[in-house]
Amino acid sequence: MSHFDAILIPGGGVRAGGQLPLWVERRLDRAIARLGDAWLIALSAGTTHRPPPLDSRGFPIIEAAAEADYLIWNGVPPNRILMEAASYDTIGNAYFSLVIHVQPRRFERLLVVTSEFHMRRTEALFRWIYGLARPFDLHFEATPNDGIEARSLASRREKEDAALHTLPDLINRIHSLADLHQWMFREHGAYAAGKIADRSSDPELLDTY
């Protein structure tokens, strides 16, 4: 088994009661299977596309916390899990995981696990954003798109392709973590004050968040 300092699991949605969609469980199952002596880093506060579900006390269920609960339920010791609960999209997954956990802990060899439909954009973003800091030994594994209806999957693939198409323009504008920080907190709808976050009205696309 290959050794990794940490395995990162991007968020993929959370439902009522903290239930995770099947495709997210597949990501977490793969991370458990590849655990070795790595840390597991559960990513994401939630998504801008739908409001967070509430727990029995009326508090929002943080996606990374729901992922951590799943990992613990499936035998991962809590002291092997780190949570990143600041991000609302894949760019945020990469940026916040880097500055909150990876840089402070000086992790070097990293595995990112996400669903097949999400992998091309995830790899492009993590390689770009982590590369703004310094070289890392990054690896990627895709898991099945289990639990997604065919029409919803088609809508999500279309959105992923569109986002990938616009990514080179963004990369050409941003050449450092300082540039990225400025763009995120001045222009990105999920993080900049006064901006309106991207919220899809397509019910089939929403099924994938």
Range of 24's domain? 6-147
Q: How many domains in the chain? A: 1
Contacts of 11 (CB under 8 A, 6+ apart): 24, 42, 43, 44, 45, 46, 47, 63, 64, 67, 87, 93
User: With 70 as the cut, is the pLDDT of residue 2 above it?
Assistant: no
pTM for this entry: 0.95
Whether residue 189 is contained in a domain is answered as: no
CATH number at residue 41: 3.40.50.620
Whether residue 172 is contained in a domain is answered as: no
Collapsed DSSP state (helix, strand, coil) of residue 147: coil
In angstroms, the CA 200 to CA 49 distance is 6
User: With 80 as the cut, is the pLDDT of residue 201 above it?
Assistant: no
DSSP characters over 151-198: HHHHHHHHHHHHHHHHHHHHHHH--SHHHHHHHHHHT-TTTSTT----
pLDDT score, position 198: 77
For residue range 64-95, what is the model confidence (pLDDT) as tens digits? 999 999 999 999 999 999 999 999 999 999 99
Structure tokens at 140: 């990627």
Whether residue 48 is contained in a domain is answered as: yes
Q: Identify whether the C-beta of residue 43 lies closer than 8 Å to the C-beta of residue 93.
A: yes
Residue 197 confidence class, pLDDT cut points 50, 70, 90: confident
DSSP state of 110: E
Whether residue 185 is contained in a domain is answered as: no
Whether residue 152 is contained in a domain is answered as: no
Whether residue 117 is contained in a domain is answered as: yes
Whether residue 27 is contained in a domain is answered as: yes
Whether residue 10 is contained in a domain is answered as: yes
Structure tokens at 92: 């945020």
Mean of the per-residue pLDDT values for the chain? 96
